[in-house]
Amino acid sequence: MKKENWTFGLSIASIVISVTTLWLCKMDIKPYDTDGASLSIAVLTLVVTIYMANQIYNAFVLKREIKKSTQKDIEESSNNILYHNMYLTFFFQGVNELKKTHSEAALYYLFKSMECLTKTNIDKDKMDEIIMKIKIIHKDYPVKLSKDDVFEYKRIIHLADIKEKKEVMSILDDMEAKV
């Protein structure tokens, strides 16, 4: 920030010097003759100084904007990587639980993987694979879920961009334990 203040101060000083030079050329002071060349040099100096001050200001604004944009891109990429890794962890844990026929645990991990997948823009096509695993659990392994679990899983389904929303909702309704 000090460099910006120093440069801004220098720009202001050069503008003041240019205006003073223009004023001195306009006056009839004996050491200074007013001729067309000196007047045009003073005006050109003022124009160049204003142009340079504008360029310096634009460079600082551009630097700030690039820094903000870069920071935003880094945060977005970091979130994508984080949620994608979480998706992979949950998905493979769900598949592992499915192999052990722990259906409730498998559903938990599959829905958590779906939730992570909604927060990233990597591998969106993997949502179909998760839905397929949920359908396998519904068809092959009877599961009774609590009302809270069904509510949570439906919340995740609403977040997800899938074409089989109604079908998965009805599967969850079938799995809900009626008390």
Contacts made by residues 84-91, CB under 8 angstroms, sequence distance 24+: 84/116, 84/117, 84/120, 84/122, 84/123, 86/112, 86/113, 86/116, 87/113, 87/116, 87/117, 87/120, 87/123, 87/126, 88/113, 89/113, 90/116, 91/126, 91/129, 91/130
List pLDDT tens digits, range 42-59. 778 888 888 888 888 888
Based on the fold, state whether residues 44 and 99 are members of the same structural domain: no
List pLDDT tens digits, range 73-108. 899 889 889 998 999 999 999 999 888 888 888 989
Based on the fold, state whether residues 171 and 85 are members of the same structural domain: yes
What pLDDT does 1 receive?
47
Write the DSSP symbol of residue 145.
B
Q: pLDDT-based confidence at 164, cuts 50/70/90?
A: confident
pTM over 0.95: no
What pLDDT does 31 receive?
59
List pLDDT tens digits, range 62-73. 999 999 999 998
Based on the fold, state whether residues 80 and 67 are members of the same structural domain: no
Based on the fold, state whether residues 167 and 81 are members of the same structural domain: yes
Based on the fold, state whether residues 161 and 88 are members of the same structural domain: yes
How many separate domains does the chain show?
Answer: 2
Provide the residue range defining the domain that includes 150. 75-175
Based on the fold, state whether residues 16 and 65 are members of the same structural domain: yes
Based on the fold, state whether residues 98 and 42 are members of the same structural domain: no
